[in-house]
Copies of this chain bind each other. A is one copy, B any other.
Amino acid sequence: MASKIRIGVLGASGYTGADLVRLAIAHPAMEVAVLTANTHAGKAMAEVFPHLGFVDLPKLATVEETDWGSVDAVFCGLPHGTTQEITHKVLTDHPSLKFIDMSADFRLVDTAMYKAVYGHEHMAPELQREAVYGLTEIYRDKIRKARLVACPGCYPTASLLAILPLVRRGEIDATDIVIDAKSGISGAGRGLKQNVLFAEAGEGLSPYSVGKHRHAPEMEQEVTKVVGRSVFINFTPHLVPMSRGDLCTIYVRLAKAESADELRQTLMERYRDEPFVKVAAEGVLPQTQNVRGSNYVQIGVFADRIPGRAILVSVSDNLVKGSAGQAIQNFNLMFGLDETMGLMQQPLFP
């Protein structure tokens, strides 16, 4: 046990934090040493998440009472906006800590963009510059050396893995991408909001943040980096009556590529050796059921009946590859472990 890496989880009473804990319990090199949740401090984890009540876990503590010197790595599952000051303080006091942020606070590189999107000045701009965007398959080398990793949102993870290799090679037109995204309701968090009550969200389907979701600038930032000029992405999310899962249907215009098959071929080559990104064979339809509870992303490519266009479908579990799983994947890299450690559980179906 002495050799285990001690982790702390900021915001352990949210879904992201809980799924991080679920995965950490099964991770052979992790020891869950600290769990914080200020509004529930003093409680057992079993009281806020009964499904985690069958194993021994530390009690929930406040951020303030926690000795961050007692851990080797921190995962942060706090809502965006609350993370910056805490991160700054923790990393100032304990500069050698590794910090893996699952919130949105350090994803945008440009401070002006951050302010425009989130409505306030960034409170730790130097850390914002330091942070590495934690899309593992794209930034693997930087992540290995990073101290602070900003894990992508669930939608950007599923979408960018599908489109980045294609825009990089100019196979699709980076200026004409429409992403229609659908998420399970855990994606909205555990906060008490009327629209996520069972009786409201069940048996129904709702778009939200139409034309203004904060994941759009995040995706645009990454595509812009690749193509070298500013692009807009068309992006609209929807809330689907299921607990987990994230599906992005992506409508693209072919550029250098001449067919959907060519796009699929590119993605297959790109991800051939990736343990978690799986390109579906022709005709196979990705569906969220295929990846529930796992760290896999599955991407399908389809010919459109419209000449010169193609359709991509990318699915993931919003709490795993879309959040806690990718965070652990990055943790593994940051600590020099096998990247797949603790992440090879297969999907739960049905």
Give residues in A with beta carbon < 8 Å to B. Answer: 15, 18, 22, 25-26, 49-55, 178, 180, 182, 184-186, 188, 190, 192-194, 196-208, 210-212, 216, 232-234, 236, 238, 240-245, 247, 249, 251, 278, 284-294, 296, 300, 302-307, 309, 311, 313, 315, 344-350
Contacts and interface: CB of A to CB of B under 8 A. Distances in A.
B346 A203 contact: no
B243 A211 contact: no
B345 A26 contact: yes
25 contacts: A26-B346, A51-B294, A52-B346, A54-B294, A178-B178, A188-B199, A190-B197, A196-B197, A198-B201, A199-B350, A202-B350, A203-B292, A204-B288, A205-B240, A205-B242, A205-B245, A205-B289, A206-B288, A207-B285, A210-B302, A233-B306, A236-B251, A238-B247, A238-B249, A241-B241
A147 B345 CA distance: 29
A311 B185 CA distance: 22
Contacts of A307: 232
Which interface residue of A54, A201, A233, A300 has the most chain B CB atoms within 10 A?
Answer: A54
Given A236-B249, A244-B350, A211 B304 contact: yes
A305 B202 contact: no
A312 B26 CA distance: 31
Task: Give the number of copies in the complex.
Answer: 4
Contact of A206 (B49, B285, B304): B285
A223 to B, nearest CB: 13
A293 B26 CA distance: 14
A40 to B, nearest CB: 11
Contacts of A15: 199, 350
B208 A289 contact: no
B251 A234 contact: yes
A287 B199 contact: no
B348 A205 contact: no
Nearest to A187: B199
A245 to B, nearest CB: 6
B247 A207 contact: yes
User: Which 9 pairs show the lowest CB-CB distances between chains A and B?
Assistant: A204-B289, A180-B180, A199-B350, A206-B287, A192-B192, A51-B347, A51-B349, A232-B306, A210-B302
B199 A196 contact: yes
A278 to B, nearest CB: 6
Contacts of A240: 182, 205, 240-241
A289 B201 CA distance: 8
Given A292-B204, A349-B18, A287 B50 contact: yes
B199 A303 contact: no
A203 to B, nearest CB: 5
Contacts of A199: 15, 184-186, 188, 190, 196, 243, 350
